[in-house]
Amino acid sequence: MKKINLLYLCLFLLVAGTNSVWAQQTSDKLPRLMIRLDDIGMNHSVNMAAQKVAETGMPVSVSLQFACPWYQEAVEILKKYPNVSVGVHLTLTSEWKNYRWGPVLGRTAVPSLVDKDGYFPQSTRAFAKSGYKMDEIEKELSAQIERAMASGLKISYIDPHMGIALSTPELRALTEKLAHKYKLGISILSKVNYFGETYKEMWGEPIATKKAAFLDYLNNKLDPKRPNLMVLHTATPSPEMDVLVDMNSNMMNSKEGKPLTSIHRQTELNALLSPEFKNMIGRKFKLINYDQLLATKDVSVLKALDN
């Protein structure tokens, strides 16, 4: 009887082991999805949204604006969540009406990067016409990265707020130089794609269709051969968030001028925390963050660090 029981036990372990291996193989064949939350540190509402996502335990990435007033709270929060990869959201604009920020180095150290009030320009167009000096940009972006690295957080990558740090060949070359100097990856929307990821964001999707578009993209349009980056802008509702007027794009305001940014960001947060999204993890895609992607030692990743 003992021999028969032992035989059954061996068969059970063999089958269980085979099923486990098969499950792993199935998981490995799923498309890889990376969620990146942008503008962390911008304000308390954005930080609270990042905390809600981090609390789920999901492996996600966040891009933190170390030039913004609320970055210290963001650092305090993120230190509690090892499931979150952190990048520096290289910031050279300050795009909100009546809510502004400026250089880490101060206005006198980099005068070509600020407007008459001492803040970063309010739009990509204003930045392009500002007469910025490349040496001052290098100083300021270096200061943002060094502030990040001194914060106690593990920093894995850099990426450009509003695309500015990659918007010209000269700025792209500088961003690549900084990535190499500080041994960081680059999460980008650019012809030069270091991690090889696809790119999609929900920022411009209408509020009414945002969740459906988000789920449809993840359900039907992920590339099985490349990492798939989905960039979201999230926030919890608050009086401060509700009155923010975007000076860079009219898409974030109604025809009457009513700010819609808060509703857009709440909708993206709700979609990410929805049961529908949760049920797709492990069935439609494998959720990873930039730390996990770096750990794979992909050729594309090595290019980012070694070129």
Residue 10's pLDDT is what?
43
Q: How many CB atoms lie within 10 A of CB 225?
A: 10
Residue 19 in any domain: the answer is no
Instruction: Tell which residue, 107, 197, 182, has the closest CA to residue 142.
Output: 182
Supply the pLDDT for residue 166.
92
**How far apart, in Å, are the Cα atoms of 138 and each of 119, 160, 162?**
17, 13, 17
State how far the Cα of 265 lies from the Cα of 201, in Å rounded to an integer.
Answer: 12
Residue 141: pLDDT over 80: yes
Q: Is 7 within the bounds of a domain? A: no
The sign of the torsion formed by the CA atoms of 52, 53, 58, 62 equals negative
User: Distance (Å, rounded) from C-alpha 66 to C-alpha 88?
Assistant: 7
Q: What is the sign, positive or negative, of the torsion defined by CA atoms of 296, 297, 299, 301?
A: positive
Average pLDDT over residues 181-203: 83
Which of the residue ranges 82-91, 192-201, 250-259 would you say has the lowest mean pLDDT? 192-201
In a domain, 16, yes or no: no
Contact by Cβ (8 Å): 27, 286? yes
Q: What is the pTM of this model?
A: 0.88
Tell me, yes or no, whether 25 lies in a domain.
Answer: no
Q: How many domains does the chain have?
A: 1
Amino acid at site 115: D
Closest alpha carbon to 265 in 52, 54, 17: 52
Averaged confidence pLDDT in the chain: 89
8 A C-beta contact, residue 282 and residue 218: no
- The answer to whether 45 touches 264, Cβ cutoff 8 Å, is no
Please say if the pLDDT value at position 150 is more than 50: yes
**Residue 257 belongs to a domain:** yes
- 8 in any annotated domain: no
Q: Is 152 exposed, middle or buried (0-12, 13-18, 19+ CB in 10 A)?
A: exposed
The answer to whether the CB of 242 falls within 8 A of the CB of 51 is no
> Highest-confidence range of 3-7, 13-17, 162-166, by mean pLDDT?
162-166
49-87: pLDDT as tens digits:
999 999 999 999 999 999 999 999 999 999 999 999 999
Establish if 151 belongs to a structural domain: yes
* Closest residue by Cα to residue 177 from 161, 166, 163, 191: 166
In the predicted model, what is the mean pLDDT of residues 231-238? Answer: 97
Averaged pLDDT for residues 228-254:
94
* Distance (Å, whole) CA 37 – CA 45: 13
* Per-residue pLDDT, 297: 57
Please give the average per-residue pLDDT across 115-134, as a whole number. Answer: 96
pLDDT at 298: 54
Q: Which helix (H) or strand (E) holds 13?
A: helix 2-29
Decide if pLDDT at 291 tops 50: yes
Q: Exposure of 257 by Cβ count < 10 A (0-12 exposed, 13-18 middle, 19+ buried)?
A: exposed
Q: What CATH number corresponds to the domain at position 50?
A: 3.20.20.370
| The two structure tokens encoding residue 44 | 């308390």
How confident is the model over 187-209, as a mean pLDDT? 83
At residue 240, the pLDDT reads 94
Is residue 44 within 8 Å of residue 99, measured between CB atoms?
Answer: no
Work out the pLDDT band at 21, boundaries 50, 70, 90.
very low
Q: What is the pLDDT of residue 191?
A: 52
Confidence band of 17 (pLDDT split at 50, 70, 90): very low
- Position 29 scores a pLDDT of 86
Answer whether residue 180 is part of any domain. yes
**pLDDT for residue 205:** 95
pLDDT number for residue 9: 40
Query: Residue 211's domain spans which residues?
Result: 31-306
The predicted structure's pLDDT at residue 41 = 98
Token pair of 40 as six digits = 């962390």
Residue 296 has a pLDDT of 79
pLDDT recorded at residue 30:
96
pLDDT at 58: 98
Least confident of 24-28, 40-44, 254-258: 24-28
Query: What is the C-alpha to C-alpha distance for residues 231 and 240, in angstroms, rounded to an integer?
Result: 23
CA gyration radius, the chain: 22
- First-to-last alpha carbon distance for the chain, in angstroms, is 65
